[in-house]
Every structure is written in structure tokens, then in C-alpha cells.
Structure 1
């Protein structure tokens, strides 16, 4: 079957007419669901005034202050507690404190080195995805388009003033891990996934997805490797909770909770705000997000399935527990997500062709003796 861009037919090629029509109906439902982003409350507007950075990027300023305090000899938990208390941030439960990994590592390095490492990591993500995507496309132009889409997801990840933001590093590490994983070649991917969890514990959703999919494919050794990372995180979190308990006071404020229940539309909005889609009108960006997810489903490759499952899990996390002020959770999956648009044309073509197959014309030739 001829393809538009891909080197092989999409996952939807060869579906029965009934299943293909169900697939088209589900795609329509997905596109309609993305438009629910229009009804989601938007985060507070950023002034853009350098003098108001403490208000516009309050969390970033907080993390910078913590790094600075540790760099000058302070204990991470004592410094973090003082800064959270000074900013009237919630301090209960213990998850309101970020894991110390990133702050301690950055405190050991000059600021310019941290920014350089951020750029190197972003460049590594670009190279890893180029190598991963090159066999997927039949010609250079669609591969180039895929790389442009990847760059569109990386805009927020090469901003020096966000270098202390945990989701920025964790998102890049997840994207790198996903690109490096191959059948039989998973050790580096699992190790990077474990590092992502130590930077931001919500990376465990990605690692859990990789573990479960490895189990489903009968790759027990690989599944054990991913599970080992989760076990390491569990140990770290227990120690983290104990350390937090030593610095929190009875009268310190508690979190209002994370049951935002803003729905799938909030996930769409969070990704839009985290990528180049923020430049488009929301209705158009939302529809593009629908085709992006459809594209990942269309790619006939294990990486496509793993990416789709990962995005679905974070969509559930953000839709159920995210609040308007935690839209930045979308950064966890933002780096590579727009690449799915490059797979969408072949997927849509194959789905329509399967749903509405052409009737073969039968020509009867009469032979007169």
C-alpha cells in the first residue's frame, strides 16, 4: 500500500471496514474533546515585566533561592523549608517539597555550567529523536518536518531562566529515554528514566508505563529493569518524607489538594502553553493536539505505542489532579509530543481508505468465435 510520508503503512492500514469506521468515529470524538480546552480557565497572565519576575515566575524564583541557599552551605531541607515558609507556600504533605536531587546537583556547579548542561541535554534529545525517526520516514522532507515539530516542543526547555525548574529537566530526560529505548536495548533508557524520577517523582508514570508494556510483550528482564527504578524511587521517597518531617512545624500551611478535576481540556491547554502551539488560536491548537495524539496511535512502532500510553497517563494525571496554577505539569511530556503530527497524514489516509474501500470494477469481455 502506498504511503504519503512513512516508510511503511500506518497501524490503521488493513483494518476491516467496521473497525475503521469505529476508528473514524473515535477520532471525531477525540477532536471534539480537545475543544473542551476552550472552556478551561486560563492561568494568570504573565506581565512580561522584568521587575515583576518574582510574581510571574514565583516557583522558578523559589527554586533559584533554594539552590543559592544550598550553594552557600545550607542544608537542603532547612533552606527549602525557610523559603517555602517565606513565600507562604504549602508545606504539607511532604510532596510539597521537591526531591533534593536537582537543587543539590545545581548547587555544586557554577550557574553557567547548569545552563550549558541544559542545552546539551536538549541537543541530545534532538539527536536521539533524529536517529529514532529517520527509519520511519520514506524521504528527507517529512523527517525535516518531524524535527521542526520536535523543536516546537522544546522551546521552553532551552530558556536559561527555567534551568532550576524540575519539570524542564524531567521532561527532557523522559523524551531522551523514550527515544533511546529499542527492543533488546533498554538499559540506558531505564537508567535515564530512573534519573528523571529522582528529579521529579511524577516521572514514575512514564517508567510504570514502560514497565507494564515490557511485561505485556513478554520482556521480563526489561520489565524488571524498569521496576528496579521504581523501587529505588520508593526508597528515596521514604527518606525524603522523613527528612521533610524534621523541618515542618505544626502550624505550617497545608496544600489545598490536587483534585482539580479540570478534565481532558486542561491537559490540552497545558500542552498548548508548553509548546509552540501557544502561538496559534486555542481552537486551532486544540484540534492540532487531537491529530497529534492520533498520529502517535497511527505509527506502527513500539515507540509510538509507548509514547501514546505515556501521554494518556499524563493526560489523566493533569485532567484529574491538576489545578490552574499547575499547568506546567504539561512540561513532563511536551518535548516530543508534537512529533505525532508527522504521522497523522498516513494514519488518516489509511483509516479513510479502510473505512470506505473502493469497489473494484469488474470488466466482462465477450469473446465472439
Structure 2
């Protein structure tokens, strides 16, 4: 009986399979011993992981800044003038303009009733977060029932999706642009079914994510590349249009910020930090529920998430694997310790990969050691 067609590694030749197996074991060991750092120190355990939410500070400095900017907007003030005031008060840079967030999230939150305590989040935002979580779970439950290999792990995989997106319900993080943008990308990924002509919903969700945080751009570019590769010209045109609209909006944003800059405003430190594997793991672990378990387990679990996605042979799994590896490379090159929340862009959907780890391991092992597989088969006969 041949291995399932949706097992990517099962039909590989022994040489490449053994190389990937050795690479996997190497990364698992490295992930277990690599330190994960936030702006407040090294994450090592459950208690340390909670520093992100509780810590010695009453509120993370970045989050407190977003709180204050939103309060300015509730008083009817201009977003960019409010940003300039608060950035200067906190000695935050206005240069380069990318240091200033897009106005979308603050503008929306300013229209909602203010929370009694910013650290707890607002009630309307909590309802919106729960609605987004429910939408993600429903979309992926349906998708897993239709995807090759998804039906067999449907319940377990949906539980894993919940563990990934549950972070959306934490009120402490509601002012983070990456939180909402990452949740919308998780929804977009579940809605993306171009083989059935269904990509409009994904386009809308991705556009919303991009309007909140420019870090969603790689997601859009990769979907555009997939459409181009498969010669789906209408879909490719839609993604190209979205990129064009984003570039125009970002140019206007940067131009507006540049008009506020004074000679004495500080220039932000470089995001080119070359933190390597620690940068990738720090971003993902500290911005997900992996932060609640010891670091020596959280790191290998993150590696297995990507491995599980890689082992599932479907178009969406190929897309997800390339997406997570691409963001991982970016996190290894850029981003500082106080940018830990960037990982929220991808962390919610990485969890689903764990559902396919057993299948991927079985396929990889049988491909790497075909003689053992053949011997087992002959003994069974």
C-alpha cells in the first residue's frame, strides 16, 4: 500500500530524506538551547514568559504609547499631531517614518467606548476579537474537512488553531496592530481557495490586515506570486492592485510624518540586528501561547510547527511553509528585543502544523530508511 499522496516526504529518495531528517534534528537541538530575548530579558519559563504581559512595568511602553495616542483621537485631535506629541514625550523616533504606525487601528478604536482599564481592553473590542476567533475556527473547520489529509486530523487540528488564535482574546494586547493584522491573515489563509475560484474573501481580509500593519505585505506578495505562477491572471491583477493601493497609502503616510519631523527629533536605531535563530524564536514564542511553557520546549515545538506544515502536501501547506520560513528569515535578520510582538503576524496559524507532525515524521523516516520499511512489510506478510 503506497503512502498517502498528501504526505510530502513519503515518496522522497533516501538521500534527500536523510538530509532533511538530519537538518530537523539539528534545528530541534539548537531551538532547545537558543535563548529567547524580549526587551526585558531572557525568557526561560512560565514565570519569565509572563513578563510580556505583567512584568515590572504596569504597561509595556509601546502599548502605553498607543493608549495615549488613541486618547488624543477621542478628544478630536489629529492622529499625526498626536503621534508627534507622544513620540517626543517618550523620546520615540519619528525618523524613519516607518517608526510611526498607520492610523487605521487608532482611528477605529477611538470610535469605540474607552476601556475602564487599558490593560484589560474594551468590551466592544473583546466582542470583535471573539467574533474574529469564531470566524477563523469555522473557516478552518470547513477547510480541513475538504483538504486531502485534513479530515483525519480535523478535530485535533481545530483545537490547535484555537490555541494559536486564542491570543486574540487577551485584552492587554488589543492596541497592538500585529494582533489584529495576524488574526486577519489567519482568516485570509483559511478563506483562500483559488482552485475553487474562491479568493475574494481572502483578498478582503488581507487588505484589512495590510491597512493595519505593513508587515502583512509579504503575505500579499506571496499570494500574488502564487497566482502569477499558476497563471490566474485575474487574481494576480487583484493582488497587484492591492499592493499598488498600499504603496500609495504608505507614501502618503510617510510624507505626512516627514512634514512633522524637526531637526532635534531622534533617529530610530537600525532594525538590522542579525539575531539569527534567537530572533526568529523570540518573535514567535513571546507573541504566542508558547510563552507559557519552558523555553527549552517552546523552541523545538516552534520548529515542529513549521515541519508539520512542510510535510502536508497541499497548496495551502506549501504556501504556509514558504510564508513562515520567509518571515523567519526576516526575523533572524531584523527586529530588536522590544519588537517581540511582530511574531503575532504568523504565530496564530503556525500551531496547525503540529497536527501533521506524526504523518510528516512517518513519511520522512520511511523515505530515509526504505530498507527498514521493506523489512517490516515482509515480516508482516
TM-score in same-fold range (> 0.5)? yes
Moved more, 163-172 or 265-274: 265-274
**Match for residue 144 of structure 1?**
155
- Alignment of 1:20 with 2:20, yes or no, is no
- Alignment of 1:161 with 2:152, yes or no, is no
Moved more, 222-231 or 338-347: 222-231
Distance 1:194 1:139 in 2: 27
**Match for residue 46 of structure 2?**
none
1:261 is paired with a residue of what secondary structure? coil
- Alignment of 1:72 with 2:75, yes or no, is yes
For structure 2, which runs of at least 5 residues remain unmatched after alignment?
Answer: 42-50, 115-122
Work out whether residues 167 and 328 of structure 1, in 8 Å CA contact, stay in contact via their aligned partners in 2. yes
Deviation at 1:2, TM superposition (A): 7.3
**Match for residue 359 of structure 1?**
374
- For each residue in 1:124-173, what CA deviation from the matched residue of structure 2 results, as whole angstroms up to 9, or x when unmatched? 11221222223347697832221222222223211123211101111001
- 1:203-218 residue pairs with structure 2 within 5 A? 203-218=216-231
Distance 2:317 2:92 in 1: 39
Larger radius of gyration, structure 1 or 2?
A: 1
Distance 2:161 2:101 in 1: 28
Work out which of the residue numbers 50, 58, 74 in structure 2 matches 1:53. 58
Change (3 A) 1:263 1:49: closer
Work out whether residues 305 and 351 of structure 2, in 8 Å CA contact, stay in contact via their aligned partners in 1. yes
* Structure-2-length-normalised TM-score: 0.87
**Match for residue 277 of structure 1?**
290
- Alignment of 1:180 with 2:176, yes or no, is no
**Match for residue 254 of structure 2?**
241
Distance 2:189 2:257 in 1: 32
**Match for residue 133 of structure 1?**
144
Moved more, 128-137 or 158-167: 128-137
Deviation at 1:272, TM superposition (A): 1.4
- For each residue in 1:195-217, what CA deviation from the matched residue of structure 2 results, as whole angstroms up to 9, or x when unmatched? 11110011101111111122222
Deviation at 1:118, TM superposition (A): 2.1
Deviation at 1:290, TM superposition (A): 1.4
Distance 2:52 2:174 in 1: 20
* Structure-1-length-normalised TM-score: 0.89
Work out whether residues 36 and 264 of structure 1, in 8 Å CA contact, stay in contact via their aligned partners in 2. no
Distance 2:290 2:32 in 1: 14
- For each residue in 1:255-275, what CA deviation from the matched residue of structure 2 results, as whole angstroms up to 9, or x when unmatched? 011011101232112211222
Moved more, 278-287 or 203-212: 278-287
- Alignment of 1:226 with 2:233, yes or no, is no
**Match for residue 43 of structure 1?**
39
- For each residue in 1:323-359, what CA deviation from the matched residue of structure 2 results, as whole angstroms up to 9, or x when unmatched? 1111111111011111101011101101111221233
**Match for residue 107 of structure 1?**
110
Change (3 A) 1:220 1:129: same
**Match for residue 11 of structure 1?**
8
Change (3 A) 1:47 1:275: closer
**Match for residue 88 of structure 1?**
91
Deviation at 1:362, TM superposition (A): 8.3
> Over the residues paired in the alignment, what is the CA RMSD in angstroms?
2.4
- 1:328-343 residue pairs with structure 2 within 5 A? 328-343=341-356
Distance 1:8 1:14 in 2: 9
Aligned pair count reads 357
Moved more, 338-347 or 18-27: 18-27
Distance 1:97 1:139 in 2: 41
Deviation at 1:18, TM superposition (A): 2.6
